[in-house]
Structure 1
Amino acid sequence: MPMTAAQRETLEDVTAFLVRESRLADEHAYDDWEALWADDGVYWVPANGDDIDPEQKMSILYDNRSRIALRIRQYHTGKRFSQTPQSRLRRLVSNIEVLADDGREIRVAANVLVFESHTRGDQLWASRNEYLLRRQADGSLRMALKKVMLVNNANALYSMAFLI
């Protein structure tokens, strides 16, 4: 079924948002990256499966908005030695799908491949990401949820310190 003009516009807005979010994270522009989050945002990287209950089972990362801000403040202290020197990063975002759109909230999924180059070596991280994006009054988007389901999240993982 062909997309309507409104669906095409939403997909373009979502794609631009995800590309920008990826670029800011790759460039360690964490203050600008943090500004992309809604006040009630949740950043979640499950461990040992994709559909675990993060309140009952261990996650690699399960941060609310205040914890995201705290991680960025800690990063700015210069005492986050796991990122000294900083990893060089590049994300490839593909297969972007708008799963639902009620006019205010947009459920989105995308495949992501992160290339990390660090003194400890190079690493590839593959994931399926789910987002809940929320339209603001000015039409801009904010992340209310970013769920990163790593392909290998059931295995022992190297340091992922670049995840702030």
Structure 2
Amino acid sequence: MNALQELRADAESFLYREARLLDTQRFEDWLDLFTDDATYWVPAGRDDIDPARHVSIIHDDKAAMARRVKRLRSGFAFAQEPASRLHRIVSNVDIVDADADGGSCEVHCMMLLVELARHRQTMHSAHCEFTLTGSRPQWRIRRKKVNLLRNGEALECISYLL
């Protein structure tokens, strides 16, 4: 296995772990994957808009992400009573850019999220972009961008984390 294949395998394992933490509602462990200066962004309308000038579905820093998790845990997230059951499928993992030692890299992937809530199944497809930093394979996420395929349409209540 060459260095790029090893880097890709480490990135895949990391992204699978992130998906598993979200699917099993281990939100605090999921938050620990992010750097203190992280951003979590879900654009609305187009994938390459300026979130400072255009509306986004989500555009959070780590503090806002923590508030989102706290609300989900509060018992007052009524749209999540009962909590949605979620499965994420991560595929097509691609290393877009990496520094020479693999300590930080830009990783893209495809994600299919399947939600079951109140006897109704909904699917969301997305192209995700991650900026991973630190020592591999214990990376941390500096930036997560989720480009929903349907980001220009009216979306059902998305009261969980993508």
Q: TM-score higher than 0.5 here?
A: yes
Q: 1:120 to 1:63 in 2, by over 3 A?
A: farther
Alignment of 1:103-122 (within 5 A): 103-119=102-118, 121-122=120-121
Percent identity between the aligned chains? 36
Counterpart amino acid of 2:159? A
- 2:132 is matched with 133
- 1:87 is matched with 84
Distance apart, 1:74 and its partner CA: 2.0
Runs of 4+ in 1 over 2 A off after TM superposition: none
Give ranges in structure 2 of 5+ residues lacking alignment.
Answer: none
TM-score of the aligned structures, taking structure 1 as reference length: 0.93
Distance apart, 1:69 and its partner CA: 1.1
Between 4-13 and 124-133, report the one with greater CA deviation: 4-13
- Report the Cα distance in structure 1 between the residues aligned to 2:108 and 2:137, rounded to whole angstroms: 20
- 2:141 is matched with 143
Q: Could you tell me which of 33, 48, 53 is aligned with 1:51?
A: 48
Give ranges in structure 1 of 5+ residues lacking alignment.
Answer: none
- Report the Cα distance in structure 1 between the residues aligned to 2:7 and 2:35, rounded to whole angstroms: 18
TM-score of the aligned structures, taking structure 2 as reference length: 0.94
Distance apart, 1:20 and its partner CA: 0.4
Alignment of 1:1-164 (within 5 A): 5-102=2-99, 103-119=102-118, 121-136=120-135, 139-163=137-161
Secondary structure of 2:65's aligned partner: helix
What do residues 16-49 of structure 1 show as CA deviations (whole Å, max 9, x unaligned)?
0000000110111101111111111100000001
Kindly tell me the number of residue pairs found equivalent between the two proteins: 160
Between 70-79 and 152-161, report the one with greater CA deviation: 70-79
- Report the Cα distance in structure 1 between the residues aligned to 2:154 and 2:74, rounded to whole angstroms: 29
